[in-house]
Amino acid sequence: MQGLDELTLYQVEGTEQPLSGKALMKVGIKVNLKGDFQSEIIRIQKLIYERD
C-alpha cells in the first residue's frame, strides 16, 4: 500500500483497532485468497478527529 498519510489513523474493515498509515504502508493487510480468480474488497476509512 502506498499514498497514505503516515500520521493519520485509518479504520480497516474487519479489524477492531484503527491502524496508522505508516503501519499499513509497511505491513499491509493480510487477505486469504485461495484460488486464481478470487478477490476481496476491503474498505479503508480515514478517521478524522475534531480538536477542541
Domain count across the chain: 1
User: What DSSP designation does 21 have?
Assistant: H
* Residues spanned by the domain of 9: 1-37
Is 27 a domain residue?
Answer: yes
Is 20 a domain residue?
Answer: yes
Q: Where do we find the cell 486464481?
A: 36
pLDDT band at 1 (very low <50, low <70, confident <90, very high): confident
Q: What is the per-residue pLDDT for 52? A: 63
Over residues 6-21, the mean pLDDT reads 94
Query: What kind and span of H or E run contains 4?
Result: none
Task: Convert 12-47 to b/e letters by CB count within 10 Å (16 or more is b).
Answer: eeeeeeebebeebeeeeeeeeeeeeeeeeeeeeeee
Is 45 a domain residue?
Answer: no
Asked if pLDDT for residue 49 goes beyond 80, the answer is: no
Q: What is the pLDDT of residues 18-47, one digit of tens each?
A: 999 999 999 999 888 998 999 999 999 999
Partner residues linked to 20 by β-bridges: 9
Is 47 a domain residue?
Answer: no
